[in-house]
Amino acid sequence: MTAPPPVRNEPLAPHAPLPAYYGDESQRARWVRRIFDRTATDYDRIEWLMAFGSGGWYRRRALARAGLAPGMDVLDVGTGTGLTALAAIAIVGDARRVIGVDPSRGMLAANKAPPESPRLVAGAEQLPVAAASVDFVSMGFALRHVADIDAVFAEYLRVLRPGGRLCLLEITRPERRLHALLLRLYLRGVVPWLARLAGRAAEMPELMRYYWDTIEACVPPATVLARLRRAGFIDVDRYVEGGMFSEYRARKPA
């Protein structure tokens, strides 16, 4: 009797392709990398305006809640201009212990982390670091831009040491309809307008509209939690602040 073929799991993208920005799934990574390359010099300014200057404070609190402590080795995935990496460095106490990874060379060129903090060009699906080499993996508001959630979570489990911790920061669509509407009006209306006024890159308003569209289309929090457990993580939970800031936290078995 012939054995059945092995079951192959289809890649799980964080959201369906968005035709307003790119044609299909095969074009996603190239489009995302290009727009981040072109808007990198404006990103921190617009982020500061969008978050009313509270971004650094919030990131430090979230990482500490997830268990980041002095002396840990950290891998910050989707590090961009280094906003989450800087928050990690403030807690860890040594920039050499925080490695930033990002597929956008433009964002890495604009990275504000100290030069002794290593920076690597790579996507989250194939991390260029050894297995069991870090104590903590962080990802700040970038899960919506990956190609395959399962591949990313498998990589996070691989690079963490036994007992290592994971913290994914994301903006999620509020459950209450009115709150979701207000957030949509702000992120898709007000923020692109601010980006047009304060930004220098012509693509910055488009990036901010894309920002909301990916939030609105993203898989629900329950799916993210389920896929973390499926990847092999334990102590999986989600802490929510302000009804929209999700902190997905998990631990690799010891």
25 & 97 share domain: no
Quote the pLDDT of residue 245. Answer: 95
Domain that holds residue 26: 19-53+174-217
How do residues 220-251 score in pLDDT, each as one tens digit?
999 999 999 999 999 999 999 999 999 999 99
98 & 150 share domain: yes
In a domain, 240, yes or no: yes
In a domain, 1, yes or no: no
In a domain, 48, yes or no: yes
Quote the pLDDT of residue 203. Answer: 94
Quote the pLDDT of residue 54. Answer: 87
Q: What is the pTM of this model?
A: 0.93
Q: Which residues of the chain have pLDDT under 50?
A: 1-8
55's CB contacts (< 8 A; 6+ apart) are: 47, 48, 83
228 & 144 share domain: yes
153 & 200 share domain: no
In a domain, 9, yes or no: no
79 & 108 share domain: yes
| Secondary structure (3-state) at 218 | coil
31 & 146 share domain: no
Quote the pLDDT of residue 57. Answer: 95
137 & 242 share domain: yes
Quote the pLDDT of residue 10. Answer: 77
159 & 146 share domain: yes
* Number of domains the chain contains: 2
Distances (CA, A) of 206 to 5, 60, 189, 222: 44, 28, 11, 29
Q: Are 68 and 74 in contact (CB under 8 A)?
A: yes
129 & 198 share domain: no
